[in-house]
Structure 1
Amino acid sequence: MTPKVYGSMLLGLSTLTSFSTYANKEPTAPSRFAYVATYNPNGEGVYLMSVNTNDGRLYKDKIVSTAPNAAQLVLDQEGEHLYVASEVSNFSDTGHGSLIAYSINKQDGSLTKLNEIESQGAGPVYLSIHPDGKYLLVANYVSGSIATFPINRDGSLGKPASVKQSSGEPGAERPAAAVEGSFAISDHNGPHAHMIASDPSGKFVYSTDLGLDRIYQWKFNASNGVLSANNPPYIAASSAGAGPRHFVFHPTNKHLYLINEESSTLTSYLIDQDKGLLTQQQTLSSLPDNYKGTSFASGIILSQDGRYLYVANRLHNSISLFSIDESGDLTIIDNVWTHGDYTRTIVISPDGGSLYAMNQRSDNIAQFSVDKVTGKLTFTNQFTPVGSPSQMVFLTE
């Protein structure tokens, strides 16, 4: 995330585009619900979608939250509560954003607000839930702080259990590992926390700071939700000015895979399962070999079987496909157009059959079918018009 992204949203449509250009009807096939988070002004909040379980097609239902800049969201493990980060600039005169807890009506997907609290920082840009389901974790991009919050029995959020503020010298302004001709220069002016998530064991938490070019390593106290620094507390990014952004954990090979926004590189790290420490293994470009110029890496996601990894490239407007071998090594094998502009995130359907690109600047979601044998993507010719989409989560039964 960079300030340039917010400015660019004003270049889009002045109002939410009409949904009449596609079959805006409830699917007759079996369906499930999904929630789509958006940025203002093109997006008007959180949208409820019906998902055709036969072909993955999306059908717009209704707006279920009108919270301003409700661009980040996460579901609890039971699918009973939705948590939304509102990137407002001054919630309750704090100068910070807010976190909103909702209960979910699984019959129609509607939401009931439980409570809203301060995010303990400016620009809450990422939410995750600890594996034990008892704590919500948030990364605040603008202020560079992270925090944990207890989840009460009714799903509402309690007072913060732990708040950590990054500090230090900013990273290099120019990304050393970017491709020739890149002007991917932004936000190396101070701390900017971009993601926070627990490892699958729940014992360790990792957070990225794009501005300081660091990956923080934390120990997590499951009894009270407190974060404490590991030893060492952080490691440097894979290259100067790389801008660590988002990461995923492999289900079997003990690796963490991380994309660097400014350098458009993908780095693998081996996780010490006992100590929670990361060791860098491999770094390669997320862009095709022949590309020259500026691009910002954004979304990252694994296939359900852990054999393939997908990375979204903004400005190049593509999705790169990587294979993962048994040792955890990566090889790029394909690159496809996103059929839209400035893809913020990519997600895969619960059945693994569809991938969706949240095309922020072109105000749509593009759907791709996933070949489960080769991992390759094929555009389905299906668009869902949504103003400035940011994220999508699926409500499973």
Structure 2
Amino acid sequence: MLTARHLLVASLSLLATATTAQTQFAWVGTYNPNGEGLYRFSVDPQTGVLSNKTLVSTLPNAAQLTVSADGKTLYAASEVEKGVVQAWRINEKGELSELNQAASGGAGPVYLSLTPDGKHLLVANYVSGSIAVLPVKTDGSLGEASDTHQDDGPAGAAKPEGAVEGSFAISDHNGPHAHMIAADPSGKYVFSTDLGLDRVYQYRFDAASGTLTPNDPPFVAASSNGAGPRHFVFTPKGDGLWLINEEASTLTYYHLDTATGTLREGKTVSALPDGYKGTSFAAGLVLSQDGKQLYVANRLHNSIGHFTVTADGTLTHQQDIWTRGDYPRTLTLDAQGRWLYVMNQRSDNITRFSVSPNDGKLTFAEDYTAVGSPSQMVISSKP
């Protein structure tokens, strides 16, 4: 009788665990007109399959997303001239209730990130070349910007000198264009890239006031003229970051001095396979939780470049795999690191790859998810 009871308790426990594990949602931001706004999908954590596609908001060009660590609040930037950021509360069924909208602090917001403590939302505005800090209230809603900064300086080189032979990957080196902003894992420092000025800005962050102070020096130059710094990921220890250069299609490692919050340039390698010639635009990149596997999206070449990372930041090229789509804009790893999703903007689909637990290599899952002009996907668990 005791054994049967124990079996029943164990079975119920496993059922509860499985039910909780299955309650995951994928949020996909898109560009109009092919994409109609923000979509929600159910995620099967075992198979990685996306299902139950639902349009949950028609916010125009709701292309940039981030979600709170507790899975309760979702933020989306409307990538329009007068940029706005929308905040929603997520309930257990994945239904959204609107909290509020706030001005993005500039035009054309292209990146959102939360500080490690979740109390501030950082925004990069591409069109205006400005960045902003928005306070996050206790209910998850947004306050007016507590700080903004306007990038300023001479435009970067029109042609990327670090690109491969035959490249015409030239875009927007005509003035400031902020492309990403994020705090380091300690939350004491903030970095932002400016593609148009070929700079990586570095700030000290005051969490109490929500303000940024330019560090000394206030920025570091791109690793090559016209490289076009785009997105970056921090190492798990927070002592460095990998940055993808859009026009040059290169990866640059920067050492991060955790005492001063300043960057020192390290090695740069190509994000493209050896021998490739012609035009390609590097886009998103993701790093595995253990910091050992780095994946990069190459647009026009339409590939995922896979690299392994050593403790000193050295990269070893592992594979280049076709995305099975066109113009991969961003990549998303699930929380367990078992599945990698690709947002193929021009082919209007999301493709999925299994990640080998042994060496991080990718295998196409023979699965396509139709969605118009996908830009970014974030995954949240049941609140």
Please report the TM-score for the alignment, with normalisation by the length of structure 2: 0.93
Alignment of 1:46 with 2:38, yes or no, is: yes
1:267, 1:253 → 2: CA distance?
A: 16
* Selected match of 2:88 from 75, 92, 102: 102
Match of residue 123 from structure 1: 108
Structure 1 residue 152, shift from structure 2 partner: 0.8
Alignment of 1:172 with 2:157, yes or no, is: yes
1:346, 1:262 → 2: CA distance?
A: 18
Larger Rg: 2
* Selected match of 2:346 from 352, 356, 361: 361
- Could you report, residue by residue, the CA deviation over 1:6-57 in whole angstroms, capped at 9, with x for unpaired residues? xxxxxxxxxxxxxxxxxxxxx9x93421111111001111111011111101
2:117, 2:157 → 1: CA distance?
A: 37
1:228, 1:372 → 2: CA distance?
A: 41
Q: For residue 38 of structure 1, what is the amino acid of its counterpart?
A: T
In the TM superposition, 1:64-103 aligns within 5 A as 64-89=56-81, 96-103=82-89
Match of residue 199 from structure 1: 184
Structure 1 residue 253, shift from structure 2 partner: 6.8
2:213, 2:351 → 1: CA distance?
A: 41
- Could you report, residue by residue, the CA deviation over 1:111-131 in whole angstroms, capped at 9, with x for unpaired residues? 111111211111000000001
Structure 1 residue 196, shift from structure 2 partner: 0.1
Match of residue 336 from structure 1: 321
| Residues 350 and 396, structure 1, Cα contact 8 Å, conserved in 2 | no
2:258 is paired with a residue of what secondary structure?
coil
Match of residue 166 from structure 2: 181
2:108, 2:199 → 1: CA distance?
A: 19
Q: For residue 187 of structure 2, what is the amino acid of its counterpart?
A: G
| Residues 253 and 326, structure 1, Cα contact 8 Å, conserved in 2 | no
Match of residue 377 from structure 2: 392
1:362, 1:60 → 2: CA distance?
A: 20
Alignment of 1:57 with 2:49, yes or no, is: yes
1:224, 1:279 → 2: CA distance?
A: 28
In the TM superposition, 1:314-325 aligns within 5 A as 314-325=299-310
Structure 1 residue 326, shift from structure 2 partner: 1.8
2:284, 2:53 → 1: CA distance?
A: 25
| Residues 76 and 86, structure 2, Cα contact 8 Å, conserved in 1 | yes
Count of aligned residue pairs for this structure pair: 363
Q: Which runs of 5+ in 1 are unaligned?
A: 1-26, 90-95
* Selected match of 1:376 from 351, 355, 361: 361
2:172, 2:30 → 1: CA distance?
A: 22
- Could you report, residue by residue, the CA deviation over 1:119-167 in whole angstroms, capped at 9, with x for unpaired residues? 1111000000001111000000010000001011111110111100001
Match of residue 145 from structure 1: 130
2:58, 2:264 → 1: CA distance?
A: 42
Q: Percent identity?
A: 60
| Residues 103 and 144, structure 2, Cα contact 8 Å, conserved in 1 | no
In the TM superposition, 1:291-306 aligns within 5 A as 291-306=276-291
Q: Which segment is superposed worse, 113-122 or 141-150?
A: 113-122
Match of residue 92 from structure 1: none
Q: Which runs of 5+ in 2 are unaligned?
A: 1-18
CA RMSD of aligned residues (A): 1.2
